[in-house]
Amino acid sequence: MVGIVIVSHSAEVAEGTKKLAQQMTPPELPLAAAGGTRDGRLGTDATLIQEAIQSVAGPDGVVVLADLGSAVLSTEMALELLPAEVRERVVLADAPLVEGAVAAAVESSLGKSLVEVKAAAEAARNLSKVS
């Protein structure tokens, strides 16, 4: 299964989003949260993100979802810290965090490919919530 990493400026947001995705998927799905800084402040930390990616990295690859602005920059830095053989199977989804994580997790639980899981997360941008 494709691993999913949830990056947020807030540890609680990352952890809560992970729990929400876990509620809808089998327990063996590789999911990791990387929120806040090492000393518990709001922010993002490239090395925390790197560790989260490595904790779920497998042959099927990893999709990373990030919240605002610098979360994306820190994720890009984290990618540079990864060994090349891991990095080449990690993609950053351009998707809303919560909806994208849920969509990606369910898609991954279906045994879909890295490309398909990323596409499912990105399709969340077009989700209409209010009819």
Instruction: Quote the CA–CA distance of 62 and 45 in Å, as a whole number.
Output: 18
Least separation in angstroms between residue 24's CB and other proteins is 4
List CB contacts of 57: < 8 A, sequence separation 6 or more: 3, 86, 89, 90
Least separation in angstroms between residue 108's CB and other proteins is 11
Least separation in angstroms between residue 3's CB and other proteins is 18
The one catalytic residue in 4, 8, 9, 13 is 9
Q: Where on the chain is the footprint of other proteins (CB under 8 A)?
A: 23-25, 99, 102-103, 106-107, 109-110, 120, 123-124, 127-129, 131
Distances (CA, A) of 21 to 24, 41, 83, 99: 5, 24, 27, 9
Three-class secondary structure of residue 23 per DSSP: helix
Nearer to other proteins, 73 or 115 (CB): 115
Nearer to other proteins, 68 or 127 (CB): 127
Nearer to other proteins, 53 or 121 (CB): 121
Instruction: Quote the CA–CA distance of 41 and 54 in Å, as a whole number.
Output: 23
- Let me know if 62 is a catalytic residue: no
For the annotated catalytic residues, the residue numbers are 9
